Amino acid sequence: MIRSVRPLANVSSRIAKRNLASSSSELVSIELPASSFEGYNLDIPELSFETEKETLLQMYKDMIIIRRMEMAADALYKAKKIRGFCHLSVGQEAIAVGIENAISKEDTVITSYRCHGFAFMRGAPVKAILGELMGKRTGVSYGKGGSMHMFAPGFYGGNGIVGAQVPLGAGLAFSHKYRGQKAAAFTLYGDGASNQGQVFEAYNMAKLWNLPCIFACENNKYGMGTAASRSSALVEYHKRGQYIPGLKINGMDVLATYQASKFAKDWAAQGNGPLVLEYETYRYGGHSMSDPGTTYRTREEVQHMRSRNDPIAGLKATLLDKGIATEEEIKSYDKAARAYVDEQVASAEADSPPEAKMDILFEDVYVPGSEIPVLRGRISDDSWDFKNKTFLNKVY
C-alpha cells in the first residue's frame, strides 16, 4: 500500500491573489520601445498593451523580494552557512517575474541550477528556499537537495546537469498535450547550455509532434567564464531553432518579458507548437559563489549594465512616470521587502537541519511503501531494513 508522496513545503497563496482582478484595479497603457523584440519567422507581440496597475506593483514587489533573497544568500554563503554550489540570479529577475505573471498554475516551468527566483515565483516561500540553501529540514526539499534541486507545484527544478532540463521540459509539454491541457511548458536554459545536442533533439521532437514547449534561452552573455561568442558559432539564440519560430526579448525590461511570455503562452495554448525565446539579460554576480565574475569581463561592463539596465530600476521609473506609485511608496516597498527577507533569514537560520539519523538518510530513495528491503550504509552493519525500520544486524 503506497502512502502518498510528501507534500511540498507550504505554498504561498500569492499566485491565487495575482489572478484575481480586483474591481478597483485600474488599467494602465504600456508602450514598449521597438528594440524590445526581434522576431525570427514570427510576427512580434504588440508593443502597446494594457495591464492592471496591480500587476505592475506586484511585479515590482516580486523582483525586489528575489533581489533581496539572492543577496541574503550571497551573505550567508560568505558566512559559510551555505555550502557547495550557489548560483545567483541577481540582475536576471525580470525573466522569472515576467513569466510567472503571464502564466497560470496549470502551466509548467523548468530551468537549470540558477533556480531560486523561479522556485519563489512558483510558490516556494522565501524561508523554505533559504532553509534549503542552509540544509535545514524545513527547506523546500527537506534538506536533501540544496541550491540546485528545488521544486514547487508546476516547477520541476532546479536541475544540475547543464542542458538535461531541456528534453525534460519537452516531456512536460508532451504531458500537457497528452492530457488535452491548454497549457505551456516554459523550458529555460542558458547561452552555455544552448549548444547541447539534447537541446536540438528536444527542438526536433517538439516541432515534429507540435508540443506546447516554450524553449527559452536566458542569454546572460557568459557560460560560466566563457563569453557567448567563444562558445557559439551562432549567438542569435532565438534563431537556433531553425524550423521553429523565434523571438528575442529585452530580458532586462520586465514589461517586455511579461508581454512576450503572455504571447508565448497564448501561442502554445492555441496549438501552434513550440517557440524558441531568447531573453537577453545579464548577471551582476559571477557564475556561482565560487566565481568573482571579474576575470572574464570588466568591472565597467558590470557597472554599466547595473546602472543603465537594471530591471528593478527600470520598472521603478515606469511606476513613477505613470503615477502608479510615489517615491515614498516605493521606498516603503523596498523597506518592507528588506525587512521581510531579513526576518525570513533569521527564521530559517533558527531551524534545525535533518537529524543525523540513518532512517532520515535512507528516506526518499524510493516512494514510501515501495522501498527495496535493504539499503546499505557505509558498512554492512549500517544497512537499513525498511520493513522492520531498523538496522539489519544491530538494533540502534
Q: What DSSP character marks residue 193?
A: G
- Identify the sign of the CA torsion 365, 122, 100, 289: negative
How distant, in Å, are the alpha carbons of 9, 39, 373 from that of 369?
A: 21, 51, 10
Binding mask 325-364 for other proteins (x = CB under 8 A): --------------------------------------xx
Binding flag, residue 292, other proteins (CB under 8 A): no
* Residue with Cβ nearer other proteins (123 or 251): 123
Secondary-structure percent of the chain, ordered helix, strand, coil, rounded to 5: 40, 15, 45
Of residues 1-30, those binding other proteins (CB under 8 A) = 2, 5-8
- Distances in Å between the Cα of 87 and the Cα atoms of 67, 90, 164, 183 are 13, 9, 17, 29
Q: Which residues of 107-127 are buried (b: 16+ CB within 10 A; e: fewer)?
A: bbbbbbbbbbbbbbbbbbbbb
Number of H helices, E strands in the chain: 13, 13
Site string for other proteins, 377-396 (x = CB under 8 A): ---x----------------
Helix (H, G, I), strand (E, B) or coil at 176: helix
Task: Using the structure block, give the residue that is written with the C-alpha cell 530551468.
Answer: 111
Q: What binding mask, one character per residue, do residues 81-120 give for other proteins by CB under 8 A, x or -?
A: ---------------------------x-x----------
Decide if residue 182 touches other proteins (CB under 8 A). Answer: no
**DSSP H or E stretch at residue 262:** helix 254-269
Question: According to CB under 8 A, which residues from 252 to 281 bind other proteins?
Answer: none
Figure out which of the listed residues 91, 139, 246, 274 binds other proteins, where binding follows CB under 8 A.
139
Among 27, 313, 350, 367, binds other proteins (CB under 8 A): 367
Site for other proteins in 66-85 (CB under 8 A): none
Q: Based on CB atoms, which residue is closest to other proteins, 135 or 311? A: 135
Nearer to other proteins among residue 208 and residue 336 (C-beta): 208
- Judged by CB under 8 A, does residue 233 bind other proteins? no
CB 184 within 8 A of CB 173: yes
* Residue type present at position 223: G
Q: Which is nearer to other proteins, 102 or 170 (CB)?
A: 170
Nearest to other proteins of 350, 367 (CB atom): 367
> Among residues 163 and 285, whose Cβ is nearest to other proteins?
163
Q: Which residue, 241, 233, 234, is CA-closest to 264?
A: 241
Q: Residues 143-172: x/- map of binding to other proteins (CB under 8 A)?
A: xxx---x-x----xx-xxx--x-xxxxxxx
Q: Between residues 208 and 350, which has the closer beta carbon with respect to other proteins?
A: 208
Mode of pairing for the β-strands spanning 213-219 and 222-223: unpaired
| Residues near other proteins (CB under 8 A) | 2, 5-8, 108, 110, 139-145, 149, 151, 156-157, 159-161, 164, 166-176, 178-179, 197-198, 200-202, 204-205, 208, 363-368, 370, 372-375, 380
